[in-house]
């Protein structure tokens, strides 16, 4: 089975299944503002005023009204170290390595409680949740489709023996990253269908989609930028090398933020997507692994060094960033 056939197999499964801390920095972008330096942490997300992250064998919940000082309010034990976390509808869906999918009720952040699990055969690596379904990437261990319309009673409804390293949902499309990039229309959950496919130069590790573009963390190849404004015709339009091995990526505004393993956090300007340009970095003390952007801040799971919180590059206190040296032109802005 060739590469395109393997990704097509994943797309077919979707249709069938549904039917049934710090060392150095460049300038002040990104700017470190806070941390939870108790690792290891390999996964983090931060919607709705709380951060949810792995801390050893715990899923930890921290209140982040002040991101510079995360305040832990609750935690719950997990069988394995969390690899990826999605929080929606009062539940945290955790890709928990060899222990599959764990579903945690976080409606009360001070008392997170596991309410269900699906013990998948493969190593749960990345997860996306949309329309009552969880799409789980397990790399060499395949792709899992799980019905989570009733979060307390999730059911695995499909599996594909195909390499899938990450999945992302944007609008009504599912982006499947494997031996290529597949684009699936999931606007009608009962009848998803593939609308686009792109061969990639090599296998990659992570994907994020925003504003008509997909950023792909391409391991030793750095960052690839894919134009997905026309889903049936995704196109590779730009790339930027990074010094480490790009593991995951998050996008916000005209920036991409890359978790670059031992090379820390890299900030890439996508103002011109055809010529993405690194504009800053922060060489963390850990191994940058998982990354999310929420509320003007970048949250980085940094392996043994826990979680680091950065101010986004687009957020500044003064409009000209101090570059001019002329205090008469400094004007306060509200992020």
- The pLDDT, as a whole number, for residue 173 is 95
Superfamily of segment(s) 3-20+26-329? YVTN repeat-like/Quinoprotein amine dehydrogenase (2.130.10.10)
Question: In the β-sheet with 173-178, what is the strand arrangement from edge to edge?
Answer: 164-170, 173-178, 180-185, 193-198
229-256 pLDDT, tens digit each = 999 999 999 999 999 999 999 999 999 9
pLDDT surpassing 60 at residue 26: no
Average pLDDT over the chain, rounded to an integer: 88
Confidence tier at 13 by pLDDT (50, 70, 90): low
Task: Report the DSSP beta bridge partners of residue 293.
Answer: 298
pLDDT surpassing 60 at residue 331: no
- The pLDDT, as a whole number, for residue 224 is 98
Token readout for 323 is 């570059």
- What phi and psi, each to the nearest 5 degrees, are found at residue 148? -120, 25
pLDDT surpassing 80 at residue 154: yes
Residue 93 contacts by C-beta under 8 Å, 6 or more apart in sequence? Answer: 85, 86, 87, 101, 102, 103, 104, 127, 129, 134, 148, 151
> How many CB atoms lie under 10 A from the CB of residue 77?
10
pLDDT surpassing 60 at residue 317: no
Q: Which of 289, 324, 15 is nearest to 166 (CA)?
A: 289
Confidence tier at 55 by pLDDT (50, 70, 90): very high
H-helix segments, the chain: 3-19
179-233 pLDDT, tens digit each = 999 999 988 876 778 999 999 999 999 999 999 999 999 999 999 999 999 999 9
- The pLDDT, as a whole number, for residue 188 is 81
Domain range summary for the chain, segments of one domain joined by +? 3-20+26-329
């Amino acid at each position: 089975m060739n590469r395109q056939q393997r990704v097509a197999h994943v797309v077919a499964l979707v249709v069938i299944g549904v039917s049934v801390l710090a060392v150095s920095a460049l300038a002040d972008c990104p700017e470190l503002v806070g941390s939870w330096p108790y690792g290891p942490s390999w996964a983090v997300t931060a919607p709705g005023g709380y951060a949810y992250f792995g801390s050893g064998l715990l899923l930890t919940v921290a209140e982040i009204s002040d991101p510079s000082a995360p305040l832990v309010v609750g935690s719950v034990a997990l069988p394995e170290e969390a690899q990826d976390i999605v929080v929606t509808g009062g539940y945290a869906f955790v890709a928990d390595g060899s222990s599959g999918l764990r579903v945690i009720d976080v409606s009360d952040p001070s008392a997170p409680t596991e309410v269900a699990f699906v013990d998948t055969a493969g190593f749960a690596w990345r997860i996306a949740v949309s329309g009552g379904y969880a799409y789980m990437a397990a790399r060499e261990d395949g792709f899992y489709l799980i019905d989570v319309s009733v979060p307390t009673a999730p059911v695995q409804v499909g599996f594909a023996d195909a390499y899938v390293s990450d999945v992302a949902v944007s609008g009504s499309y599912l982006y499947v990253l494997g031996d290529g990039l597949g684009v699936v229309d999931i606007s009608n959950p009962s009848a998803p269908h593939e609308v686009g496919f792109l061969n990639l130069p090599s296998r990659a590790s992570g994907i994020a989609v925003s504003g008509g573009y997909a950023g792909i963390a391409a391991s030793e190849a750095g960052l690839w930028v894919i134009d997905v404004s026309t889903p049936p015709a995704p196109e590779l339009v730009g790339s930027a090398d990074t010094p480490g091995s790009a593991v995951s990526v998050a996008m916000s505004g005209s920036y991409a933020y890359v978790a670059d393993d031992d090379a820390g956090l890299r900030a890439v300007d996508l103002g011109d997507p055809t010529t993405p340009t690194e504009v800053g970095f922060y060489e963390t003390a850990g191994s940058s692994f998982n990354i999310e952007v929420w509320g003007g801040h970048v949250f980085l799971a940094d392996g043994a060094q826990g979680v680091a919180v950065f101010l986004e590059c687009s957020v500044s206190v003064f409009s000209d960033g101090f570059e001019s040296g002329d205090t008469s032109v400094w004007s306060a802005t509200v992020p």
